[in-house]
Amino acid sequence: MTPSTTTTSRTAPRGAVRFPARFAWVGRLGAGVRQHRVRVVLALAIVYVVWGSTYIAIDVAMTTIPPMLLMAVRFAIAGGLLYLWASRRGDRHGDRPTLRQWLHATVTGGTMLVGGTGLISLAMVWIGAGTAALLSATVPVWLALFARTIFKDRLSVVAWTGLVLGLVGVGVLVDPSGGQLVGISLGLLGAIAWAAGSLRSRVSPAPTRPLVAAAMEMLGASLVFLVVGLALGEPARLDLAAVDLVAILSLLYLIFAGSIVAFTAYRWLLNNAPTDIVGTHAYVNPIVAVGLAWLLLGQQLDERATVAAGIILMSVMLVVMGRPGEPIPAQATSGGDVFAGASRWRRIGRRIGSLPQKARQQVRVPRPQYRPVSASGTSRPHDTVLHGSPELADTHETELPDGPTPPPAAHRRRVRRRRRSRAVDGRRGPHGHRQAPR
């Protein structure tokens, strides 16, 4: 009689729903957020509602406040408060912002916030808040296009389908005879500028604390907004007596709710929820914006814009699903790029080889991406492999964490290819060299 033994299995229980690899994020919705389920749902609700309503607040505030001066005041106050709070946390002595980082933050903030948020806000002079939200939703589509053309990333069939659908949806939305060509063009340029600034923020020198880097970008962008507003003559058009209470409340809502509360909630979500779940804001926020614009402002989409909205939202969903694990930037009216700090280092090892030589010399990797692993799976100091130029080996300032760190997928593939190349007819040489068949 064989004694019964008890074994522990890590497989899914019988009857559990299995999802394809492409839709694995659906299965992780419960498992990935089990520990913070209530807080994750609350943070997602804040991001959906607050960021979706920022278009309404901008549209209302611009009735009496010029757009460039509105954004200058918003980001000056929000960036100053966020910097005072975030600079007192984390590595205060080893991660002090330098003058070079402030200059790069000003350039990045000018590209993202002035070129992105500023142009989208300016587009609302000709188009409604719902249409502006749809144009802003195309940021993941432009990011995928930049990733293919600049970084030579391979896109899946799903991502390619979403990319083509996004371009088709933009073409359907543009109506040359509708009198909105200027506004739609400005909105598209704003989405493209936000995507370009998001890519730049991942390679430019910045503090490793994400909120500090975002606050620096807000403060730098506020100066650029002020200069642009002065150049456009907006102070002469500003009538302080005409600024009503609704416009002031909308500005305060943009400062505290849009740029601080929702921004902090989104940053917390990145650390406590799967990226696939957090990235759903890319196609949920436009729906919220369109609904609030119809409910609060009476702005309705015509048949052409409704069809374009369906195509654009479907394209964004396919692009997000077709590029799992890719960073999804914050909304273009949020006030900063939450991937400007620590999240940049997630993919820098894979992207560093594709960057220009000048950009490669500016990147400072704070720690190695993985432990040295040999072909046999054991750790050996002389087998360390780093992506990019050899100069990066001198920039490591922190020690590796305790415990083994798995190598990235690219290194594992190289190890497997090396093992296959060493084996000929199932035999190996005495030192791992190829051995000719007898």
How much is the average pLDDT of 186-210? 85
Q: Are residues 310 and 391 in the same domain?
A: no
pTM: 0.69
Q: Are residues 82 and 217 in the same domain?
A: yes
Q: Are residues 402 and 270 in the same domain?
A: no
Cα 418 from Cα 280, distance rounded (Å): 39
Range with the lowest mean pLDDT among 181-185, 188-192, 401-405?
Answer: 401-405
Non-local CB neighbours of 20 within 8 Å, separated by 6+ positions: none
Beta bridge partners of 427: 424
How much is the average pLDDT of 338-346? 40
Tokens of 209: 């604390």
Residue 431 phi/psi, 5-degree rounding, is -120, 25
Share of the chain above pLDDT 90, in %: 36
Range with the lowest mean pLDDT among 234-238, 336-340, 382-386?
Answer: 382-386
pLDDT band at 129 (very low <50, low <70, confident <90, very high): very high
Q: Are residues 265 and 374 in the same domain?
A: no
Q: Are residues 59 and 113 in the same domain?
A: yes
Q: Are residues 395 and 298 in the same domain?
A: no
- Residue from 337, 332, 338, 304 nearest 132 by CA: 332
Cα 340 from Cα 365, distance rounded (Å): 14
Mean pLDDT of the chain: 76
Q: Domain for residue 21, yes or no?
A: no
Domain coverage including residue 326: 34-350
- Count structural domains, the chain: 2
Q: pLDDT per residue over 215-261, tens digit each?
A: 898 999 999 999 999 999 999 999 999 999 999 999 999 999 988 88
Q: Are residues 217 and 267 in the same domain?
A: yes
Q: Sign of the CA dihedral 133, 134, 135, 137?
A: positive
Cα 127 from Cα 132, distance rounded (Å): 7
Q: Domain for residue 430, yes or no?
A: no
Residue 324 phi/psi, 5-degree rounding, is -65, 140
Q: What pLDDT does 390 receive?
A: 43
Q: Domain for residue 130, yes or no?
A: yes
Contact criterion met (CB below 8 Å) for 327 and 276: no
With 70 as the cut, is the pLDDT of residue 90 above it?
yes
Q: Are residues 73 and 165 in the same domain?
A: yes
Q: What pLDDT does 384 receive?
A: 41
pLDDT band at 18 (very low <50, low <70, confident <90, very high): low
With 90 as the cut, is the pLDDT of residue 122 above it?
yes
Q: Domain for residue 5, yes or no?
A: no
Cα 345 from Cα 229, distance rounded (Å): 35
Non-local CB neighbours of 424 within 8 Å, separated by 6+ positions: 434, 435, 436, 437
Q: Are residues 305 and 412 in the same domain?
A: no
